[in-house]
C-alpha cells in the first residue's frame, strides 16, 4: 500500500470527511512528515484502531509539532 492511500491530516485541520464518527473501523497512524514513515515504538508501528478517528488524531497529535507530524486514516474492511 502506498502513502497516497492514506488521507493526511495535520493537527490544525479537521476535514469534514473525518469529523463525524465512522461506523466503519479505521486505523490511524502517526507519520513523520520529514521521512514519510510511520512512527515506531520499540520497533512496532504506532497505530490506533478506532471508529472515531477525530479522537485518535487529537490524541496522537497532542503536544506534537504539526510541522513534523501528521495523522493518516485508513478505513478497515467493508462498510458496517
pLDDT in tens, 17-73: 555 554 789 999 999 999 999 999 999 999 999 999 999 999 999 999 989 999 999
Q: Considering the entire predicted model, what is its pTM?
A: 0.67
Name 5's Cβ contacts closer than 8 Å, sequence gap at least 6.
Answer: 74
Cα separation of the two ends of the chain: 22
23, 73 in Cβ contact below 8 A?
Answer: no
CA torsion, ordered 17, 21, 80, 2, to nearest 10 deg:
50
Task: Domain ranges for the chain, please list them.
Answer: 27-80
Amino acid at each position: 500500500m502506498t502513502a497516497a492511500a492514506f488521507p493526511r491530516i495535520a493537527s490544525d485541520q479537521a476535514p469534514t470527511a473525518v469529523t463525524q464518527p465512522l461506523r466503519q473501523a479505521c486505523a490511524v497512524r502517526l507519520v513523520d512528515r520529514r521521512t514519510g514513515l510511520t512512527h515506531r515504538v520499540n520497533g512496532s508501528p504506532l497505530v490506533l484502531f478506532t471508529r472515531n478517528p477525530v479522537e485518535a488524531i487529537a490524541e496522537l497529535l497532542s503536544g506534537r509539532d504539526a510541522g513534523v507530524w501528521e495523522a493518516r486514516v485508513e478505513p478497515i474492511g467493508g462498510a458496517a
